[in-house]
Amino acid sequence: MRMRSARPIMQCPVEAGRRIAVTGKYSSPQEGASMEFGIVGLGRMGGNMARRLARKGIRIALNNRSHEVSDAIAAETGHFACATLYDLVAALQAPRIVWLMLPAGEATETTLATLLPLLSPGDLVVDGGNAHYKDDQRHAEALAARQIDYADAGVSGGVWGLENGYCIMFGGSDTAAARLKRYMEALAPTPATGWLHTGPVGSGHFVKMVHNGIEYGMMQAFAEGFALMRNKHEFDLDLAEIAELWRHGSVVRSWLLDLSADFLAQDQALASIEPFVADSGEGRWTALEAIEQGIPAPVMSLALMMRFASQRGNDYAAKILAKMRQGFGGHAVREEGK
């Protein structure tokens, strides 16, 4: 299913006396066989989560659509690279924990369909991507029929999570929470802060959905404020100095302001940035949830509408939004003329 690299092959004992070839970097097969935790999906977030676990002395199994990526991270961290989902499941000691860091929708659905027949009763699947909480509830029901546990984890921290730790909000059973505690403590900023068992399955991604809706509103307010100041030509305001000023003692100081101060110090005009701001599924889901509940959420909903507006050509505020998204999440920005 995946291309294997030329890295030397390690033999990993698996169930029923079978042996399969799994590439990786381990001092002995026995050390690899003691693993219980694997990550599927090694993009910006998944790859850095694997690196952070390695820094905390936790070794895990890795799988990625492009095996070269998992092989490279294994060589860097000492983790165990697996070419296929079959290999990953076989490399883990039961009961296993398989953590998915995949885009919501088809990628996750396809992976779960492939993974489900490979797992055993007592295993635990965690969806750590930006999934919709109603999908979590449906997945949990399907896995429960096979006596497989399920948890949903909303993860915030972007490209800075490797150094600073991730904020993780997760839903699932008390049993799942107890099994995940060790990994939450390692991934979070400190063992005692930055992670929370929010409640039953679906609650983690629900909280993360609202978190992202709030994020939309905060970003939009900063973007509009800087656009107003940029357009006040008679004052010739230095936006970098103002952003830096607000970082100290102001009630609007925040990480988003920190990121804005950083990129404005380098380039205030943002002439090369196309005013196009993508919207994630979570922003739309938050607006729809507000409609379903009949709860007024005009700020979050309008912030989503402004992203739609940017996708049809907008102004300086959209450039500010695009650079903030790049700053915290590593999201690509479009450059003018390209």
Q: Just list the catalytic residues.
A: 208, 215
Residue 152 backbone dihedrals phi, psi, to 5 degrees: -120, 130
Half-sphere exposure of 328 (CA within 13 A, CB side): 21
Residues contacting residue 127 through CB under 8 Å, at least 6 positions apart: 100, 102, 108, 136, 139, 150, 151, 152, 153, 205
DSSP 160: G
CA distance 80 to 100: 16
Give, in degrees to the nearest 5, the angle at Cα 181 between 135 and 131.
15
Q: Rounded to an integer, what distance in angstroms lies between the CA atom of residue 271 and that of residue 222? A: 19
Give the torsion through C-alpha atoms of 82, 110, 54, 180, to 10 deg: -130
